Amino acid sequence: MSNEAKLELDGKVFTLPTITGSEQERAVDVSSLRANTNFITLDDGYGNTGSCVSKVTFIDGDKGILRYRGIPIEELAEKSSFIETAYLLIYGTLPTRPQLKQFSDTIAEHQFLHEDMKYHFQGFPAGSHPMAILSSMINAASCFDEGLMNWHEGKARFDTYVAKLISQVRTIAAYSHRQSKGLPLMYPKQSLKYTPNFLHMLFSMPYEDLEIKPEVAKALDLIFLLHADHEQNCSTSTVRMVASSQANLYASCSAGVCALWGPLHGGANQAVIEMLEQIHREGDDGSKFILAAKDKTSGKKLMGFGHRVYKNHDPRAKIIKKACDDVLSKLNINDPLLDIAKKLEEAALKDSYFVERKLYPNVDFYSGIIMRAIGIPVEMFTVIFAIGRMPGWIANYKEIMEEPKTRIYRPRQIYTGRTENHYVPLDERK
């Protein structure tokens, strides 16, 4: 296997090095292309372009493989927890018992926000989308801790901010929901673990202790875990883009929240439920909608289907589909949207349009149904995704900061606009 690529341009042959990763993925390293040939590469949507080398997560889209630091997602889903998996992603290995306790204790220590932050929440009108509040308040949180601007002063300080952000994104998210519904903010409860505490802050009312069903907390913890990282997706690439300018951790992750919000990315779970509700409302068994999703002029897509990398089943979708059945039967819920989703999946997987384009259910196709079953409001679905993805964003941020060779991300372009022309005074313009 050659470790060089030959490129012929204008009759001249250039040699470019190649790189092979630990899973035998191969790339042509074009870092020297422009200096030696005056050409750049162009790759709309970066479908063929690696922005970095990374040790955090590996996906094989053809085989439907997803591993966090080499451990298959199926094993973590069955045996781990969200916080333990967060540690694995950020620090590279599963924590020992003392390490896990230290990490969990630091997260618990920082579960409260600075009390003055509540005045910022009160500034948002009821009905504000919680993703807008979340991205703003993550950045706002950095104003209440002057040390954050000097986050790079030592590992201990960085580790504190890692745990603090994982803890506070959950508190901010719960407060975002409460504020958007005009409800009183519910403080965290020191006696509760990460995910039950989030459910408490989301749903408890003053002077009433919410009964948190273990199966509900377990289902949500699994959803967080399955969303924890996913290579260089749109939002993680955004975090790395901002981090490459040496911005602080909170600023970079706040930018990640904004990128995740889009309906083609993290907003898809909300879009899936809205799609299923529309199908149910119209009395369609899904067949009409499938026809529309195949018709480019309809402006409709089968939300929760398709993926830039997976050209086979998204392993997370398989795990969530099974969890769906488990949770709904344990909670004794019979949701017509689940039946519609299963019919849509069955029909699409037999339909040549989807088969030819290798469009399979992705992580978002069933996740919304579980969240709906445990009472999460649909506008909070992408916020749940953001809480889950926070460890992946932090792990990628840390990778950038620890790589001395990291340069600021600054892609080139091919200009296709007007060539040189000159200023025309206002009265002479036609």
Nearest residue (CB) to ligand SDX, 122 versus 278: 278
Q: Distance (Å, rounded) from C-alpha 182 to C-alpha 8? A: 64
User: Considering only 148-156, 197-205, 249-257, 307-315, which stretch makes contact with ligand SDX by CB under 6 A?
Assistant: 307-315
DSSP per-residue codes, 291-318: HHHH-GGGT---TTB--SS-SS--HHHH
Active site residue 307: yes
When asked if residue 388 is in the footprint of ligand SDX (CB under 6 A), the reply is no
Q: Looking at 69, 120, 230, 321, which residue binds ligand SDX (CB under 6 A)?
A: 230
Strand order in the sheet with 57-60: 57-60, 65-68, 71-72
Q: Looking at 73, 344, 359, 395, which residue binds ligand SDX (CB under 6 A)?
A: 359
Q: Distance (Å, rounded) from C-alpha 136 to C-alpha 133? A: 5
Name residue 121's amino acid.
F
Shortest Å distance, C-beta 59 to ligand SDX: 7
Which alpha helices (H) appear in 311-412, and where do they start and end?
Answer: 315-330, 336-348, 352-356, 364-373, 381-402
Using alpha carbons only, how large is the chain's radius of gyration in Å?
A: 23
Q: Distance (Å, rounded) from C-alpha 194 to C-alpha 424? A: 62
* Per-residue binder mask for ligand SDX (CB under 6 A), 115-154, x = binder: ----------------------------------------
User: Considering only 101-109, 147-155, 247-255, 302-310, which stretch makes contact with ligand SDX by CB under 6 A?
Assistant: 302-310
Name residues contacting ligand SDX, limited to 312-341 (CB under 6 A). none
Shortest Å distance, C-beta 37 to ligand SDX: 28
Residue 163 main-chain phi, psi, to 5 deg: -65, -35
When asked if residue 357 is in the footprint of ligand SDX (CB under 6 A), the reply is yes
When asked if residue 393 is in the footprint of ligand SDX (CB under 6 A), the reply is no
Q: Looking at 81, 167, 233, 367, which residue binds ligand SDX (CB under 6 A)?
A: 233
Residue nearest to ligand SDX (CB): 306
DSSP per-residue codes, 235-295: HHHHHHHHHTTT--HHHHHHHHHHHHTSTTTTTHHHHHHHHHHHHHHTT--SHHHHHHHH-
When asked if residue 225 is in the footprint of ligand SDX (CB under 6 A), the reply is no
Among the listed residues 307, 314, 326, 351, the single catalytic one is 307
When asked if residue 355 is in the footprint of ligand SDX (CB under 6 A), the reply is no
Catalytic residue numbers? 307, 364
